Structure formats: structure tokens, C-alpha cells
Chains A and B, each alone.
Chain A
Amino acid sequence: MNTFAFLRFDLMSWLPRKQTLLPLALIVVVGIALPVPGMAIVASAVVTSMMISAPFLADERGRLDTLYGVLPLSRRSIVVGRAIAILTYYLLASAIAVVTTWAVAIARGGTIPFEIAGISLAVGFAFIGLAMSLQLPVLFRIGYSRGRLIAYAPALVIAGVLWVNQTLGLIEFDGEFAAPLPLVVVAGFGIGALGFAVGAIIALRMYRTRELR
């Protein structure tokens, strides 16, 4: 029950802020401005990955780290509550992206590119999972001030993997997915869910022994 009390508290704390809501508008701009279908959905994942550190910034500005230490809450409730809060933000961002993609497709006299939308959502969620697994433990362990650069880690990891792949020629990609769509979607969501779980588990181990000031 306390996990949901914290989730509610957390969303009340950082979601209704300009700094949190304005990036959602960026998703709409990307969806309208870029003619490539699915870009709004990709943007929603990138925006969410950059916003994972936002609640930690709010914690430091508001001395909320100390508050969490004296509230009758387990550390687990805080970690799980925050992970769900970030997931909620991602769901909101991806909903905006899907609606934007749909609206732009209609306005341009086309149809919703379901295949691209499905793949984009799955890949986006996998990206968020990777971001969570990298950022959540660091931010819970050392806070925003010392850990904020970790926000760039997921993009750097992906760029690094692509560079290694290109350099060594491990996997050739000719613009077509060789795997069937359902497999790509399941794999994407599976990786994302795994990333969330791994991020939360490691973050809990890190946060449990953190001394709060």
C-alpha cells in the first residue's frame, strides 16, 4: 500500500512541473515536423530517458531525500514507487506520441503505420528499460548532483554498440527486419520489462545502504 502512497506522492511532486511537461510538447513537435512515421514514438522514449533524473533533481532541491528517510516507508516502496512513476511518465509520453502519429497520418491522408508504430513502441520500451537499468541504480545511490551525467549513458551505450557493430561488421541491416513483427515486439517489450526489473533490483540494493542526510 505504501508503494502506491509513494507513487501518488512522487507523481504529485514532479509531474505537474513545467520542466516535466514541456518535453512532452517536444514529442508533438517531432511528430508533426518530421515526416518519418514513428519518430514521435522514438522521441517519447528519448524524452523519457532524459527525464528519469528529473525526480531526483526535485528530491535534492526540496530536501526530499531527508523526508523519505523519516517517512514510515521502506526503501523498497520508494524504489518501486519511483520506477512505476517513471513508467507512468513513459506511458503518458508514448500515448501522446501514438495520438500525434495517428493525427498526423490522418491529416496527411494516410493510415496509421501499425507495423512501424508497433516496432517503434517495442524498441522505445527496450530503450527505456536499458535507460532504467543504467540510471536508476546510480541516481538512487549518489543522487542527482553527482549522478546526472548518467542520463547520457543509454544513448552512449547504443552509439557504442552501433559503432562496434559497424566497425566489426557483426550484423548487416538492410532496412528490413528479418525477424517477424510479433517477435520484434515481444523481444522489445521483454527487454524493456527486464531493464525495469534489473534497474529496480540493483537500485534497491544501492539505496538500502545509502545514508540519507
Chain B
Amino acid sequence: MTDYMARLDGLHIRRPSFDIADVSLTIPRGTVVGLVGPNGAGKTTVIRALLGLITPDAGVAEVIGLPAGTPAALARTGIVLDQPIVDPEWRVASLGRRIGPFYSDWDEGRFVELLSRFNVQRDRKVGDLSRGQGVKLTLAMALAQRPELLILDEPSSGLDPASRREISDVIREFMVDPGHATLFSTHITTDLDDLADDLVVMVGGRIAHQGALPDVRDEFAVARGSGTAPHGLIGAHTSGEQWSGLIRAADTAVFESDVVIDTASVDDIIIHLSAEHERSAA
């Protein structure tokens, strides 16, 4: 058994509309990896590569030691997208009958239990479900497969806090098994606060930063002040006289006493790393 659940190594994908360059990341067993970044950063493309939906121009994409996208790898991967990928005309109750036969470990009892827990009515058509219920249905389907790796692509966008909490709770339960792992791509970085072990920040098709979540937070700070922005800020942003930017926490002492140094949130890190990327690309 490999100690990692999935890995990308030196992934390059070049298409007319996007460019993924030299992406390497590992999803160890027993960890939740948060994948964050602005729109168009390449998060969904990375997930598509892990599912074998897109063929890399170079690099390696593996799941459980198998090439990504092979039936054996997919059989052990549960995928939750931002909406159900089943016909809107199908009834919820029919999904086990339709999808279950593809999975040797399909657990219909677990599927029904999760639907009941999520208040998703089984006699309704998939297309009649609310957005939140659609995501919960997809999560129930993914977990009924009894996967080892769970991949979530923006599942919580547009969901109310209670629904997001429900999803987080279910992921926590899934992660009780130390052999499991989760890749959670999201815009709502607060969802990762109590959940993620590692954080991968993607900007402009590249990994701008990655590491253990507490380390990433500790590594950066936000500097704010007024007047002329000092050199050395990452992704400096000015608004009138005010400026702000990301700094390495180790560099805090370099700044004058009139500069306010705050703890960096994950959002701060994304915003300023994106700004830095745009500045260097210009």
C-alpha cells in the first residue's frame, strides 16, 4: 500500500484556453488537502487530470499507485462536483439501481441513510432538487461507493452555512479511517479552517505555495500602512494613501513601527499571491 493516495508530478497541460505548468502535489493517506486559488487558477483542471478526464502533455498523474483515470483507480475515488452529473429527469431513488452496479462495494443502505440525513427526498427528480440538495445527493452517491479518496470540486459555492457545515461533518466522519484522503477544492476558504491538514494555493496554472495549513498561515503575515508602499511586499495593493501586502513572517522586523502587521488568512494569501502573479505577468 502506498503512503500517498494520489500524486501529480511535473504536470504540464497546455490548451488554447489555459496552461498548467509544472504542478506537483501529493495527497497523503489520512490527510485533507485544501486546493485554493482564484477563478481560472487551474484547480478544476488539476482535478480533471486526477480523474483522467484530461490527458497531460507531460508529467505523471497517479491515484493509489495506478494511472489516473483507470477503472481500478476510479473505483476507489468518490467525486463531488458543484452539481449532480446525472440526468435531471431521473428520480433520486433510482440512482442506486443505475449507478450502483458499477461499484463492487456500493452500499445502498449507506446511500439511503445519507439521503435521509441530508433530507433529500427519494421520490423527487434530480432536476427538482435545490442546489444544496444536489450537492448533498452527489456526496451521498460518492460515499455510497465506499471510496478511499474523496475529491470535492467547489461543492460549497452558493450553499448556506448550515449545509456547508453538514458537508464538513460528513468529510470529518469519512476521514476517521486513516487510510482515507480528501482533496477539497473551494473558494470558501473558511471551510478549510478546521478541516484541512495541507494547503495548496494555485495561481495562474501554477502552484504558488503549498504546505501544512498551520505552517502556511505562520509563514506569511499581512503588512498595512499609509504613504509610500515599501519594497519587498508580495502582491502589494494600494487604495488611496493606504497600502497592504503579504510579507514573510520572518521579515516582520524589517518594517517600521508605523506598519501594522496582521496574521494572514488564507484569503489574504490567495489575494496577494494572485496580485503578485498578475504583476509579474504584466
Are A and B a genuine interacting pair, yes or no?
yes
List chain A positions with a Cβ less than 8 A from chain B. Answer: 2, 5-6, 8-9, 12-13, 58, 61-64, 66-67, 69-74, 209, 211-213
Please tell me if the beta carbons of B71 and A73 are within 8 angstroms of each other in the complex. Answer: yes
Known interface pairs A62-B89, A66-B85, A71-B74. Does A8 touch B101 (Cβ–Cβ under 8 Å)?
yes
Please tell me if the beta carbons of A211 and B86 are within 8 angstroms of each other in the complex. Answer: no
How many pairs of A and B residues are in contact by the CB < 8 Å rule? 65
Please tell me if the beta carbons of B55 and A71 are within 8 angstroms of each other in the complex. Answer: no
Name 28 A/B residue pairs within 8 A (Cβ), A-sorted: A5-B101, A6-B102, A9-B99, A9-B102, A12-B98, A58-B87, A61-B88, A62-B86, A62-B87, A62-B89, A63-B84, A63-B85, A66-B53, A67-B85, A69-B69, A70-B53, A70-B74, A71-B102, A72-B72, A72-B74, A72-B75, A72-B102, A73-B74, A209-B55, A211-B48, A211-B54, A211-B55, A212-B53
Residues of chain B within 8 A of A6, CB atoms compared? 102
One digit per residue, 1 when the CB lies within 8 angstroms of any chain A CB and 0 when it does not, for chain B 74-97 equals 110101010111111110000001
Closest B residue to A69 by beta carbon equals: B53
Closest A residue to B44 by beta carbon equals: A213
The CA of A209 and the CA of B55, in the complex, are separated in Å by 8
Residues of chain A within 8 A of B86, CB atoms compared? 62-64, 67
Please tell me if the beta carbons of B87 and A61 are within 8 angstroms of each other in the complex. Answer: yes
Residues of chain B within 8 A of A13, CB atoms compared? 87, 98
- State which of A61, A62, A72, A212 has its C-beta within 8 Å of the C-beta of B71: A72
Please tell me if the beta carbons of A2 and B98 are within 8 angstroms of each other in the complex. Answer: no
One digit per residue, 1 when the CB lies within 8 angstroms of any chain A CB and 0 when it does not, for chain B 92-131 equals 0000011101110000000000000000000000000000
For the complex of A and B, 8 pairs with smallest distance between CB atoms: A62-B87, A72-B75, A72-B71, A72-B74, A66-B85, A67-B85, A69-B53, A63-B85
The CA of A25 and the CA of B85, in the complex, are separated in Å by 32
Residues of chain B within 8 A of A12, CB atoms compared? 97-98
Closest B residue to A70 by beta carbon equals: B79
The CA of A64 and the CA of B103, in the complex, are separated in Å by 17
Closest B residue to A208 by beta carbon equals: B55
Within 8 A of A (CB), among B14-54: 48, 51-54
The CA of A73 and the CA of B83, in the complex, are separated in Å by 21
Residues of chain B within 8 A of A5, CB atoms compared? 101-102
List chain B positions with a Cβ less than 8 A from chain A. Answer: 48, 51-55, 69, 71-72, 74-75, 77, 79, 81, 83-90, 97-99, 101-103
- State which of B53, B87, B89 has its C-beta within 8 Å of the C-beta of A213: B53
Please tell me if the beta carbons of B102 and A73 are within 8 angstroms of each other in the complex. Answer: yes
Instruction: Determine the main DSSP class of A at the interface with B.
Output: helix
The CA of A2 and the CA of B103, in the complex, are separated in Å by 10
Known interface pairs A70-B79, A211-B53. Does A2 touch B71 (Cβ–Cβ under 8 Å)?
yes
The CA of A206 and the CA of B129, in the complex, are separated in Å by 35
Residues of chain A within 8 A of B102, CB atoms compared? 2, 5-6, 9, 71-73
Shortest distance in angstroms between B51's beta carbon and chain A's nearest beta carbon? Answer: 6
The CA of A67 and the CA of B74, in the complex, are separated in Å by 11
Shortest distance in angstroms between B220's beta carbon and chain A's nearest beta carbon? Answer: 35
Residue from the set A63, A66, A72, A74 with the largest chain B CB neighbour count within 10 Å: A72
The CA of A2 and the CA of B89, in the complex, are separated in Å by 24
Residues of chain A within 8 A of B81, CB atoms compared? 66
Residues of chain A within 8 A of B48, CB atoms compared? 211
Closest B residue to A4 by beta carbon equals: B101
Residues of chain A within 8 A of B98, CB atoms compared? 9, 12-13
Residues of chain A within 8 A of B69, CB atoms compared? 69
The CA of A69 and the CA of B84, in the complex, are separated in Å by 14
Closest B residue to A59 by beta carbon equals: B87
Residues of chain A within 8 A of B89, CB atoms compared? 62
Closest A residue to B51 by beta carbon equals: A70
Residues of chain B within 8 A of A2, CB atoms compared? 71, 102
Residues of chain A within 8 A of B101, CB atoms compared? 5, 8-9
Please tell me if the beta carbons of B55 and A64 are within 8 angstroms of each other in the complex. Answer: no
Shortest distance in angstroms between B57's beta carbon and chain A's nearest beta carbon? Answer: 12
Residue from the set A12, A58, A70 with the largest chain B CB neighbour count within 10 Å: A70
Residues of chain B within 8 A of A72, CB atoms compared? 71-72, 74-75, 102-103
Closest A residue to B94 by beta carbon equals: A12
Shortest distance in angstroms between A14's beta carbon and chain B's nearest beta carbon? Answer: 9
The CA of A66 and the CA of B69, in the complex, are separated in Å by 12
Shortest distance in angstroms between A34's beta carbon and chain B's nearest beta carbon? Answer: 35
Residues of chain A within 8 A of B75, CB atoms compared? 72
Closest A residue to B97 by beta carbon equals: A12
Closest B residue to A212 by beta carbon equals: B53
Please tell me if the beta carbons of A69 and B52 are within 8 angstroms of each other in the complex. Answer: yes
